């Protein structure tokens, strides 16, 4: 399953394909044993963005990092549904298929909408929630974002996502401390979407979902009270131009019980820019909020 462009030293794990049924399957990295930490990546990345956590936590946690459909090493069916609500349906299906009765959830970017429906539908399963620069509401519900949500669904943006690889242009622009971005930073991400067709199929589908999936995303925010007693931690790069401090303020308002670790110089990818700081922050939080269930399943068989 490992492509030639994936460096083994950078990602020393062997993902496995999990058949979800109905012609859908996800690539899943499953390492370590103990209480489960379940990761949900955003766009345009894949589970590679969690590599520092997998390496650091696998000694005492079972770390599970799926690639959402069309991302990373997962299949990319031409007729697949790549809207946030479809990713959420598959994520819930994966949780059920792996028999995860209790887990810590860690999300970033669109990984929030991809996974929070599973948490909100069965909050008793969630031992804790950690959020990195993400959202849980309709993206186009303000004057500024409403125009952006409309533009993202236009033929112009469809062209730009394919021809100009606009998703990665936006990703680079949302970086905070440019000194932390090396020439190798995007090497594990760019080959996943090598042509205009793949970018339009998967990445533009999420761009236009800012308007098309507004009702689904808003339903997450409307149900946020279900996580009021769930331990929650937020790690936020304040120099993020895609998810500015106003998004963090909204998250704080919606989840006032959450602990918050602000990183002033980091942007949209704090765990790529300051991995050691982020790993330590999350590890400390997880260790302070142990899962109450004593039943922990083993990793997928090798």
Marked catalytic residue, from 30, 109, 233, 261: 109
Residue 154 has pLDDT above 80, yes or no: yes
Q: For the ranges 31-45, 150-164, 165-179, 264-278, which has the lowest average pLDDT?
A: 150-164
Residue 153 lies in a domain: no
Confidence band for 295, pLDDT divided at 50, 70 and 90: very low
What is the pLDDT of the chain when averaged over all its residues? Answer: 93
Q: Are 221 and 137 in contact (CB under 8 A)?
A: yes
pLDDT on residue 292: 66
Residue 23 has pLDDT above 50, yes or no: yes
Pairing mode, strands 259-263 and 232-237: parallel
Q: For the segment 234-263, what is each residue's pLDDT rounded down to a tens digit?
A: 999 999 998 989 999 999 999 999 999 999
Give the C-alpha separation, 234 to 142, whole Å: 23
Residue 148 has pLDDT above 90, yes or no: no
Residue 72 has pLDDT above 80, yes or no: yes
pLDDT on residue 197: 97
Looking at the 3D structure of the chain, how many domains does it have?
Answer: 1
Phi, psi of 191 (to 5 degrees): -65, -15
pLDDT on residue 142: 62
**Is 4 tagged catalytic?**
no
Residue 182 lies in a domain: no
For residue 87, what is the domain's CATH number? 3.40.50.1820
Residue 143 has pLDDT above 60, yes or no: no
Give the C-alpha separation, 11 to 103, whole Å: 23
Confidence band for 94, pLDDT divided at 50, 70 and 90: very high
pLDDT on residue 302: 41
Domain of 47 in residue numbering reads as: 16-138+215-288
Q: Which residue has the higher pLDDT, 298 or 5?
A: 5
Residue 143 lies in a domain: no
pLDDT on residue 147: 72
Ramachandran class of 119: left when φ > 0, alpha when ψ lies in -120 to 50, beta otherwise: alpha
Residue 76 has pLDDT above 90, yes or no: yes
Give the C-alpha separation, 79 to 120, whole Å: 28
**Is 268 tagged catalytic?**
yes
**Is 109 tagged catalytic?**
yes
Marked catalytic residue, from 108, 268, 271, 289: 268
Residue 294 has pLDDT above 50, yes or no: no
Residue 223 has pLDDT above 60, yes or no: yes
pLDDT on residue 212: 83
Burial class, 300, CB count within 10 angstroms (exposed 0-12 / middle 13-18 / buried 19+): middle
Marked catalytic residue, from 41, 108, 240, 289: 240
Residue 96 lies in a domain: yes
Residue 72 lies in a domain: yes
Helix (H) or strand (E) holding 128: strand 126-134
Q: Which residue has the higher pLDDT, 291 or 191?
A: 191
Residue 194 lies in a domain: no
Q: For the segment 188-199, what is each residue's pLDDT rounded down to a tens digit?
A: 999 999 999 999
Q: For the ranges 114-128, 134-148, 251-265, which has the lowest average pLDDT?
A: 134-148
Residue 122 lies in a domain: yes
């Amino acid at each position: 399953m490992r492509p030639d462009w994936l460096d083994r030293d950078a990602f020393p794990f062997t993902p496995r394909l999990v058949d979800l049924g109905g012609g859908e399957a996800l690539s899943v990295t499953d390492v370590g044993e103990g209480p489960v930490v379940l990761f949900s990546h955003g766009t345009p990345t894949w589970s590679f963005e969690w590599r520092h956590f997998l390496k650091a936590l696998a000694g005492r946690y079972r770390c599970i990092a799926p690639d959402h459909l069309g991302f990373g090493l997962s299949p990319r069916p031409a007729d697949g549904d790549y809207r946030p609500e479809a990713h959420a349906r598959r994520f819930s299906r994966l949780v059920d298929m792996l028999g995860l009765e209790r887990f810590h959830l860690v999300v970033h970017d669109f990984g929030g909408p991809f996974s929070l429906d599973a948490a909100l539908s069965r909050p008793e399963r969630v031992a804790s929630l950690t959020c990195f620069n993400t959202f849980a509401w309709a993206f186009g519900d303000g004057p500024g974002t409403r125009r952006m949500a409309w533009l993202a669904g236009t033929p112009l943006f469809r062209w730009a996502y394919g021809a100009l690889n606009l998703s990665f242009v936006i990703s680079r622009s949302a970086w905070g401390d440019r000194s932390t971005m090396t020439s190798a930073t995007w090497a594990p991400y760019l080959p996943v979407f090598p042509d205009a067709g793949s970018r339009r199929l998967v990445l533009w589908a999420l761009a236009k979902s800012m308007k098309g999936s507004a009702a689904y995303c808003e339903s997450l925010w409307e149900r946020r009270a279900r996580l009021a007693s769930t331990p929650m931690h937020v790690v936020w790069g304040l120099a993020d131009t895609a998810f500015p401090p106003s998004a963090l303020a909204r998250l704080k308002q919606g989840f006032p019980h959450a602990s918050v670790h602000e990183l002033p110089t980091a942007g949209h990818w704090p765990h790529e820019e300051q991995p050691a700081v982020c790993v330590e922050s999350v590890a400390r939080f997880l260790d302070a909020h142990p899962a109450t269930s004593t039943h922990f399943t083993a990793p997928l068989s090798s």
